[in-house]
Amino acid sequence: MSSAIKMVGITKSFSGTLANDGIDFDVKEGEVHSLLGENGAGKTVLMSILYGLYKPDQGKIFVKGKEAKIENPAKAISLGIGMVHQHFMLVPSLTVAENIVLGSEPEKYRFWLDSEKANEDVTELSRKYGLEVDPKTVVNTLPVGVQQRVEILKALFRRAEFLILDEPTSVLSPQEVVGLFKAIAALKQQGKSVVFISHKLKEVCAISDRITVLKRGRISGTVNKENIDMEELAKMMVGREIPVVPLQNPFLQEKVVLQAEGLKAFDKRKMLGLKSVTFKVHESEILGMAGIEGNGQSELIEVLMGLRKLDEGKILLNGKPITNASVHERIKSGFSIIPEDRQKTGLVLDFSVSDNLILGRQDQPPFAEKFYKLNLEKESELAQELIQEYSIQTPTKETPVRHLSGGTQQRVVVAREFSRQPKFIIASQPTRGLDIGAAEYVRRKLIEMRDKGCAILLISADLDEVLALSDRIAVIYEGKIVAVREHSKTNELEIGLLMTGAAND
């Protein structure tokens, strides 16, 4: 089988730090070749070079045997290379169809988009690959999982022969993952090539023909499908065995920390997004909220944090009503949150690591002085302490967080939120897009906070994660809590059926 893509001696550095160090990498025609590695290992940089987002310092790229100079994404697309990024590249105010055909719009009249033709083309394409979407829906009203589908369809619309998928399953439910794998299998049958970047070993082992592991900018090994061993792959990635996160909870208390009663709220489409949602989270408990994205999770988070108006119901913290409290008042009373999108709502990307670590406390002692003056010395002290305690890999505390890897950015968020000594934590998709080592770290921190007495609401589209961490599991479907299960009295099949509405409590 000949190589569709071949990268030889690829080297790339940023500010003197080697991201890729002499990498040789190839993908054969009709092959699914997975890239594994911790955050900062150089996976996305390598594929960004192939897609024309970065220029290599050294090395050559060959497409179907011919050397190619890929100066920009337009050149990559012309060569049949498509890339679906971990962080979406969509125009929120445009419809699904308008995003997909952007740059290749069918014209009805000169400079006039043929919307009907665009909608038809997108519908046909989405059905062909089992990634169905409503072409007329405005993107900013879609849940994250559906936006990911739009990104994949956008690349397929441009007739990509070679598709790079950067953490494509991190926003999908188990059922949607099955659909994606069917789409990948269909692409493979047509002779197309796929690079699959993921931190989920089980998925990589299931879908790959070959797996290449990157560590600190270098290839630490390539394994064929018949020789795949998950434990060995984990060792190759992180240089050690990955211990299992302990579930046993000897600290569970009867005391209710967070109580939600009859929550009703409307979503962006002015439709009822939450329908009489009622649940409790106890001291030293992780309540996992399982559900396919778009079933009310975002509305629930916003209502709990005071970001969305509650139309009916009440919220109590340690027995005291906080239904009408502001976001700031909730944080002061003991709320913390790991938001689902660290870049959009968890961090200010152009702020330094130090500035991001005190967000939410900048107006409180010892950081705030008279006349709203910031005590920079106290901020610096806290930053140094948290950088060390949470092993935040940053050149300096003054480095803008946009220059950090995804896993390191998540550590900044976790350090800030957990250092407040919260009573109640909302952890929304806390390991989304993280490699196996970074995900292990975040999960262990959640267990640690639980064991210190925190009540934690874990909202995750990763059912394995919900089952691994939760003391109890609530299932949300179409804005309702349809079931609550003790961890020891349920399984993946039952929760999966409840998530899709195929079973009732």
- Give yes or no for a contact between 140 and 95, defined as CB atoms under 8 angstroms apart: no
pLDDT in tens, the chain (505 residues): 678 899 999 999 987 778 899 999 999 999 999 998 766 688 889 999 999 999 999 999 999 999 999 999 999 999 999 998 877 789 999 999 999 988 766 666 556 677 888 888 889 988 887 778 899 999 988 876 788 788 888 888 888 889 999 878 766 666 667 778 888 888 888 788 999 987 677 788 889 999 999 888 899 899 998 887 877 887 787 665 555 555 667 677 789 999 999 999 988 777 888 999 999 999 999 999 998 777 899 999 999 999 999 999 999 999 999 999 999 999 999 999 999 888 888 999 999 999 999 988 888 878 877 766 777 888 899 999 999 998 898 889 999 999 888 888 999 999 999 999 999 999 998 987 676 777 888 899 999 999 999 999 999 877 888 988 999 999 998 899 999 999 888 887 788 778 767 666 6
- What is d(CA 494, CA 505) in angstroms, rounded to the nearest whole number? 10
What is the bridge-based pairing of β-strands 193-197 and 32-36?
parallel
pTM above 0.85, yes or no: no
Terminal-to-terminal C-alpha distance of the chain: 51
| CATH number, domain 3-238 | 3.40.50.300
Strand ranges in 420-495 using DSSP code E only, listed in sequence order: 424-428, 455-460, 472-477, 480-486
- 364-375 pLDDT, tens digit each: 878 877 766 777
CATH number for 253-334+422-505 (one of 3.30.70.20, 3.40.50.300, 3.40.50.280, 3.40.50.800): it is 3.40.50.300
Where exactly are the structural domains of the chain? Answer: 3-238, 253-334+422-505, 349-420
H or E element that contains 46: helix 43-50
Q: What is the dihedral of CA 149, 152, 153, 158, to 10 degrees?
A: 170
Strand ranges in 38-140 using DSSP code E only, listed in sequence order: 58-63, 66-67, 81-84, 107-109, 112-113
- What is d(CA 127, CA 429) in angstroms, rounded to the nearest whole number? 28
* DSSP states along 292-341: -TTSSHHHHHHHHHTSS--SEEEEEETTEE-TT--HHHHHHHTEEEE-S-
Residue 215's φ and ψ, nearest 5 degrees, are: -145, 120
- Give yes or no for a contact between 412 and 47, defined as CB atoms under 8 angstroms apart: no
390: tokens are 């949470």
Give the length of the chain. 505
Would the CATH topology of 3-238 be identical to that of 253-334+422-505? yes
- 215-263 pLDDT, tens digit each: 888 998 999 988 878 778 877 876 655 555 556 676 777 899 999 999 9
